[in-house]
Amino acid sequence: MKKLLSVLLALSMLLGCVAFASEDDWDTEAYLVEVVGQDYGPAAETPELRDAAGTNGAVVSGKGEASEVGIAVLEAGGNAVDAAVATGLAIGYFEPNASGLGGGGFMNIWLADEQRAVAISSQFPAPMNVTEDYFAELFDEDGNIDNEKRAEFQASGKSVSIMKALATYQVALDNYGTMTLAEIMPYVIEACQQGIRVTQNFKSLYDSSYSKLIKSEGSQEVWFKDGIIPYELDEVIYNEPLIETFEKIAEEGIEYFYTGELGQKIIDAIQADGGVMTMEDMEQAMTDVLVIEDPVEVTYRGYRLYSMPLPSSGGVILGEILNIMENVDVASMEHNSAEYIHVLSEAMKLAYADRAEYLGDPAYVDDELVEALSSKDYALEQYNKISETPNLDPVAGNPYANEGPNTTHISVIDKDGNMVAMTQSINSHFGCGITVDGVVLSNGLMSFDLEPGHPNSIAPGKLSLSSMTPTILLRPDGTPMLVSGSPGGTYIIACMAQTIINLVDFNLPITEAVYSPRVAGTDGGKTRIEGRLDQEVIDELTEMGHDIEITKDYDPNMGSSNSIVVLDDGTYHGCGDPRRDSQCAAY
C-alpha cells in the first residue's frame, strides 16, 4: 500500500493537478476526480479527413501507423489476408487498449477468385475449469450484482478468457495468405520501433485504466515511466517487451506463445491473480480455430452482405435491422430527419431485444432460430410493430412464428479484389490490466451473462456472445462495394447499419457516410444521439415521445466505422472514423 501511495503522489505532482507535500497529505479521491477518467474529448474536435484512395490496395485501421504496415505488405506482394494479419499484429502494438495477442475476434474474408466469403472466429472461449456459478461471488445476499466486486473481478486474472488471436492469424495465413508469419513480422517490428504516441483518445482511456494497470508488474514496466509515472499527451511509449515477443514468435512460431516459455508465463500470471486457465487451455486454443465456410448472408435492396455468424450476434442482428428497414422507403426521406431516425431507432430496439433474449454460443442456440431471426417474413412482422409512438419498453419478438456484443477494426482490399474485414478485441480498455512480456491480457469472460440459465451464461469451453460485425458488401451485379466494420461493443451493429444505409439508400460518399451524426436504439427504450444532430430534429423526436440521450458530437462509444468503398472506376476509397484515431492508407 505504501508503494502505491508513493506512485500516486508522484503522479499527481507530475501532472500538476493535485499537489501534496507528503504521503500523509495524499487524497486518493481528489486524484480520481482530477486525473483518472479525465475527458480529453474526441479524437478531433473538428476532425480532419482520415481518408485515402488508390487503385492497388487500401487499409483502414484504428491507427495510421498500423495501416501503413498493411500497405507495406501489399506493396511487397502480399494479398489482403497477409496485410490484414500484419495490420492486426501492428494494431495490437499501437492501440494496446483495444486488442492484441491477449484477445480474439473475427475475420471475414472475400476470396475474389473463388467468388465466395469465408470467416474465422477467435472469440473468447471460457477456460475448461470454470463452473456455471463462476460469477457467484459478484452477487450480494439479495441476488443483486455488487458493482465494486464486479470491478475487482474484471481487473483480475479471474476474468481472462482463452486468447486465440495469434492462432487465427496462423490459420488465415496457412489457408488464404501468400506469406508466412516469419515473413510478415519484420514489417511489424520495424514499424513498432517508432513507439506509441499518446493521443487525446488514448490518454483518456489510459488514465481511466490506471487502477488496474498499476497492479501488474508487467504493466508497470511498459505503461509507466520509471514504473510509476503515467505518460502525458504527445509523449511516446516504447513497448520493448512486445517487440521482443514478436521476434520470438517469428523465430519459434506460435508455439512459443501457446505451449512454450511465454505461454507458461501467461498462465502463471493468470493463476497468481485468481484465474483458472491452464496450459491445456492454451494448447487447445492453438489448434482449435473455427473456420466458417458459410458466414451470414443477407440481401438488402439487391446488395449482398456477408458478416459473422454466432457467437457474434453482429451478422444476425445487422441482418434483422436491414431486413426491417427494407420495408421502409428510406430514399424518399431526408437524411437524419426525425422521420428517418424514428423508424431506424425503432428497428434497432426490436432487433437488440431479440439479441438479448435469444443469442449466444452456437452450440447452445437452435439453428432454426437463427434462420428465423434473419428471415424477411420475420422482419416484416417486426416492422409492423413500429408505430408513430416510440417503443420505450421493447421486448423480444417470436421468430418461431415464421419458421420455414473494447474492440478495434481493420478493413483491407488488395489489387485483385480480395477483401478482409477483421474486428478484434480484449473486451474492456486494457483488458484485465495484466501485461506479460508486452502482451495485455483480456477480460473476455465479462462478455458472458453473469447469471446462470441464459443463452450467454458461462460454461466450460463456451464462447461468449459478441457484437463484432466485420462486413463485406457486394453490389447487385456481384462486384465488391464495401469492406467495413467497427469497434464499440453493442453499438457496433447500429454503426454498421447506418454506414450501409448511408451508402445504399442516401448515396453518400464514404467520408460523409462515416462522419455523419449517429443514433443508436440499443439501450432498451432509450435513443442515443450524437450532439451534432440538428437541434430541430432532436426537438421533434422529443415531441414524438422518444427518450433521448445526447452524447458527444463525435462519440467514440457510438462506433468507429473503418470502411473502404470500391468506386465505379475501380478506385479504392477508404476512410478512418474521426471518433477514434483511425486512419486509411492506400496506394
Query: Annotated catalytic sites, by residue?
Result: 407
How far apart (Å, rounded) are the C-alpha atoms in residues 421 and 84? Answer: 8
Q: In the beta sheet, which residues pair with residue 547?
A: 526
How far apart (Å, rounded) are the C-alpha atoms in residues 280 and 127? Answer: 9
Q: Is 464 among the annotated ligand-binding positions?
A: no
CA geometry: angle at 208 spanning 205 and 209, to 5°? 85
Q: In the beta sheet, which residues pair with residue 110?
A: 117, 419
Q: How far from 123 is each of 63, 501, 517, CA to CA, in Å? A: 22, 27, 30
AA letter at 454: H
- Please choose, from the candidates 487, 476, 421, the residue with its C-alpha nearest in 3D space to the C-alpha of residue 95: 487
Q: Is 431 among the annotated ligand-binding positions?
A: no
Instruction: Check: CB of residue 304 under 8 Å from CB of residue 474.
Output: yes
Q: Indicate the pairing of strand 526-530 with strand 547-551.
A: parallel
Eight-class DSSP state of 234: T
Q: Is 433 among the annotated ligand-binding positions?
A: no
Where would I find the H helices in 115-227? 147-154, 165-176, 181-192, 200-208, 210-213, 217-223
Residue 316: CB atoms within 10 A of its CB come to 27
Q: Is 391 among the annotated ligand-binding positions?
A: no
Instruction: Check: CB of residue 374 under 8 Å from CB of residue 305.
Output: no
Give CA torsion, residues 541, 547, 552, 555, to 10 deg: -100
Lookup: cell for 194: 517508432
Phi/psi-derived region of residue 16, left when phi > 0, alpha when psi is between -120 and 50, beta in every other case: left
- Please choose, from the candidates 532, 537, 549, the residue with its C-alpha nearest in 3D space to the C-alpha of residue 392: 549
Q: How many CA atoms lie within 13 A of 202 on its CB side?
A: 23
Give 147's contacts (C-beta < 8 A, 6+ positions apart): none
- Please choose, from the candidates 488, 577, 484, the residue with its C-alpha nearest in 3D space to the C-alpha of residue 528: 488
Q: Is 375 among the annotated ligand-binding positions?
A: no
Q: Is 426 among the annotated ligand-binding positions?
A: yes
Give CA torsion, residues 370, 374, 380, 383, to 10 deg: 90
Residue at grid coordinates 472514423 = 577
Annotated binding site, which residues? 425-427, 466-467, 489
Annotated binding site for L-glutamate, which residues? 425-427, 466-467, 489
